[in-house]
Amino acid sequence: MMNKQILDLMTQYNESVLASAKRVNELNMKTAERLAKLNTEVFNQCTEAATAYFKAISKVSDVTELTKTQAEFGKEAGEKFMANAREYAEVANAVRDEMTAISEEVVSVATANAEKAGEILKDAA
């Protein structure tokens, strides 16, 4: 009887670990897809900005206009950079939160099973 109870606890724990591993794998896939999408968007923004910048500076006629154009593009690029950085941070925070939840669930199941195993062994003694 005791051996079956211990085996059942081990089976339950293993199922929990496998379910958690599956969730981690799914999280990794979703994260990779989201990061690839963000990277593509950033690359496209950079390409578009560079094209617009070179078009704009090719039309300037003096240093003052060049400086003004560079400042405008620099400000816009800085704003886009910050927006992109926030998006990457959101992805990282979401991954951290999900991994924390998964880890806490595994620890919770392991703790509960260890306590049950202790009770089973105590009762058997």
pLDDT at 1: 67
Residue 2 pLDDT > 80: no
pLDDT at 48: 95
- Nearest to 87, CA basis, from 33, 30, 42: 42
pLDDT digits (tens, 9 = 90+) for 57-103: 999 999 999 999 999 999 999 999 999 999 999 999 999 999 999 99
Can you give the residue range of the structural domain that contains 63?
A: 2-124
pLDDT digits (tens, 9 = 90+) for 13-69: 999 999 999 999 999 999 999 999 999 999 999 999 999 999 999 999 999 999 999
Residue with tokens 């400042």: 71
Counting the structural domains of the chain, the total is 1
Residue 123 pLDDT > 90: no
The three state secondary structure string of the chain is CHHHHHHHHHHHHHHHHHHHHHHHHHHHHHHHHHHHHHHHHHHHHHHHHHHHHHHHHHCCCCHHHHHHHHHHHHHHHHHHHHHHHHHHHHHHHHHHHHHHHHHHHHHHHHHHHHHHHHHHHHHHC
